[in-house]
């Protein structure tokens, strides 16, 4: 069964304090690993898809990387508007998209 574990569950940073979020996964036949951002009261917003180990993608202050067992979302010099819940998900051979429980990021000014 496909599984995703995110750590830490919550993270508080000061503005400008860089950090990384971890997503560990087990999946049968990885088709893609996905990162989403979710703001309170809204649906998840797509950030990145990674398809194979060694792949990296960037968007503004966010950079996602992928190995055969985990993915990292690196946040460089975060701003208060980066505060949100970040979700990791995997899609395997079953075509189902399975999510982790998410990681709540708070960036204080």
Q: Please give the residue ranges that form the binding site for another protein (CB under 8 A).
A: 31-32, 34, 36, 42-46, 48-49, 51, 87, 89, 91, 95-102
- Residue closer to another protein, measured from CB, 59 or 79: 59
- Residue closer to another protein, measured from CB, 41 or 54: 41
- Residue closer to another protein, measured from CB, 83 or 85: 85
The SS3 assignment for 82 reads helix
d(CA 85, CA 51): 22
d(CA 17, CA 11): 11
The SS3 assignment for 15 reads coil
């Amino acid at each position: 069964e496909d599984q995703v574990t995110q750590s830490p569950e919550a993270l508080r940073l000061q503005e400008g304090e860089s950090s990384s979020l971890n997503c560990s996964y087990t999946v049968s036949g990885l088709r893609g690993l996905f990162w989403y951002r979710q703001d309170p009261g809204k649906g998840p917003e797509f950030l990145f898809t990674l398809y194979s180990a060694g792949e990296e993608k960037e968007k503004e202050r966010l950079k996602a990387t992928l190995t055969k067992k985990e993915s990292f979302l690196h946040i460089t010099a975060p701003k208060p508007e980066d505060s949100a819940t970040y979700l990791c998900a995997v899609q395997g051979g079953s075509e189902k998209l399975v999510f982790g429980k998410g990681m709540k990021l708070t960036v204080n000014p």
